[in-house]
Amino acid sequence: MNRNFVETIVGALVLLVAGVFVFYAFAKSDRSGPDGYEVVARFGRIDGLKRGADVTMSGVKVGTVTSIELDRKTFQAVVRLAVSSSVPIPEDTNAKIVAESLLGGMVVVLDPGGDKTMLKAGGEINNTQDAISFTELLAKFMFSGTGSK
C-alpha cells in the first residue's frame, strides 16, 4: 500500500510539472497578435508563406500574417498583415516575400518609403514583390552556363 501512495504522489508531481510547462508556453506565445491595425498586400506568388508568418521592417518583427486568400478575379494572393500600432507605414512602402533562412520559412519584409502620408487601417500596400522560387533560381544558376561557347 505504501508503494501505491508513492506512485500516486510521483504521478501527481509529473502532471503538475507538465501543467506548469503548458501554462508557460501559452503565456509566452504570440497567439493574440500585435495590438494594431490591418493592411492588405497583393502578390502574384507567395511560395511557402503561411498564416502566422512574421512581418519585419529593418529586421525587426512588427507584425504577423493574419490571413491569405485568393482573389478569384485577378488570381492574386491577398495577404492580410496585422501591424503593431506603434509602427507607422508610409503609403509608398514596398512589401516583399523572402526566405527567412536557407531552411526556414517565408516572411514579409516591409521596406518603408519616403512618403509623409501613412497607411490607415484597412489600407493597401501597392508596391509588392513576389516570392522567388528557390528551385527555379537554382535551376537558372545550374543551367545558365550551358549552351554557348
CB neighbours of 128 closer than 8 A, spacing ≥ 6? 41, 42, 43, 94, 95, 96
Per-residue pLDDT tens digits for 40-93: 999 999 988 999 999 999 999 999 999 999 999 999 999 999 999 999 999 999
| pLDDT on residue 148 | 53
40: helix, strand or coil: strand
- Cell representation of residue 2: 505504501
| pLDDT on residue 118 | 92
Query: By the 8 A CB rule, do 33 and 82 touch?
Result: yes
> In residues, how long is the chain?
149
CA distances from 130 to 2, 46, 53 (A): 67, 6, 15
| pLDDT on residue 76 | 94
Dist. CA 93–CA 129, nearest whole Å:
11
Is it the case that residue 108 has pLDDT exceeding 90? Answer: yes
| pLDDT on residue 146 | 57
Q: Can you list the positions of beta strands (E) in 2-131?
A: 36-43, 54-57, 60-70, 77-84, 94-99, 106-111, 124-125, 127-129
Is it the case that residue 7 has pLDDT exceeding 60? Answer: yes
pTM of the model: 0.70
Quick one: average pLDDT of 10-31?
Answer: 84
On the 0-12 / 13-18 / 19+ scale of CB atoms within 10 A, 3 is exposed
Across the chain, mean pLDDT equals: 87
| pLDDT on residue 135 | 75
Quick one: average pLDDT of 2-21?
Answer: 89
Residue 145's pLDDT band (boundaries 50, 70, 90)? low
Dist. CA 36–CA 47, nearest whole Å:
26
Residue type, 17: V
Residue 97's pLDDT band (boundaries 50, 70, 90)? very high
